């Protein structure tokens, strides 16, 4: 079967599964809501208006991870994967189509999320948002789309490797909420190269680490690429 029909069939699966569409909607709603709350509660400290405007990505990325995880784990139950591979014997082609079907809506929703977050965040910041330039706002919106897409794909690749959505979420969510911050506080620059912290530089107006906004996203992309290669390898070698 050619690639485009396989991609079309994978998109139909995503579009018709309510939990996946719900996760995509949650990315926008959760990120925008927490961005507004974060911008309102800046306190008396020196404000990074860009990070404050996009503060909600910290929570929205959980919905993106849930989307990527569920998109793959839904194939692992009830013989769905066996049926998919019967229709598409070229496992690499099927896996590539699945990842593209995850990446495209993730990027579209991520960009929409970025625009919504910037709008509500700057509105909530009020006068504190005056120092935020147009170029920084565009960087935040584009970075939001790319970062959320990479995290969704990272989760998808890890799910294909572990063959368990529960295992993937059990690893990623505690890591992002707890472990990454603990490592960051205890290490001297090592945490800058973790998949989440590297990509999050794009949301900061200024940064002190060795990575910049785009090099940080490149590091996150390398982590994602490694997860996808490992997932593809496991799909090719394991029985459905």
Backbone angles phi, psi at 143, to 5 degrees: -60, -35
Q: Do residues 68 and 106 lie in contact, with contact meaning Cβ atoms separated by under 8 Å?
A: yes
CB 68 within 8 A of CB 156: yes
Query: Residue 188 has what pLDDT?
Result: 57
* Distance of alpha carbon 147 from alpha carbon 221, whole angstroms: 9
Query: How many of the other CB atoms lie within 10 Å of CB of 170?
Result: 12
Where do the domains of the chain lie? 3-237
Q: Given this model, what pLDDT does residue 240 score?
A: 54
pLDDT at 215: 95
H or E stretch at 168? helix 165-174
Mean pLDDT of the chain: 89
pLDDT of res. 239: 65
pLDDT of residue 83: 79
How far apart CA 71 and CA 165 sit, in angstroms, is 9
Looking at residue 110, its pLDDT comes to: 97
Whether residue 139 contacts residue 132, with contact meaning beta carbons closer than 8 Å, is answered with: no
- Ranges in the chain, pLDDT < 50: none
């Amino acid at each position: 079967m050619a690639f485009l029909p396989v991609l079309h069939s994978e998109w139909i699966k995503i579009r018709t599964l309510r939990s996946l569409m719900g996760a995509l909607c949650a990315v926008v709603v959760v990120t925008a809501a927490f961005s507004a709350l974060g911008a309102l509660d800046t306190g008396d400290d020196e404000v990074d208006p860009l990070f404050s405007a996009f503060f909600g990505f910290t929570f929205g990325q959980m919905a993106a991870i849930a989307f990527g995880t569920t998109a793959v784990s839904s194939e692992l139950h009830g013989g769905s994967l066996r049926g998919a591979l019967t229709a598409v014997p070229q496992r690499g082609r099927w896996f590539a189509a699945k990842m593209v079907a995850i990446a495209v809506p993730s990027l579209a929703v991520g960009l929409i999320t970025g625009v919504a977050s910037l709008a509500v965040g700057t509105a909530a910041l009020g006068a504190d948002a005056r120092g935020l330039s147009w170029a920084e706002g565009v960087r935040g919106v584009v970075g939001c789309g790319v970062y959320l897409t990479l995290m969704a794909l990272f989760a998808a690749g890890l799910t294909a490797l572990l063959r368990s959505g529960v295992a993937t979420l059990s690893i990623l969510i505690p890591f992002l909420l707890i472990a990454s911050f603990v490592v960051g506080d205890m290490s001297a620059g090592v945490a800058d190269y973790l998949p989440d912290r590297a990509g999050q530089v794009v949301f900061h107006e200024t940064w002190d680490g060795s990575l910049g906004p785009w090099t940080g996203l490149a590091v996150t992309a390398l982590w994602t690429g490694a997860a996808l290669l490992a997932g593809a390898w496991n799909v090719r070698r394991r029985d459905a």
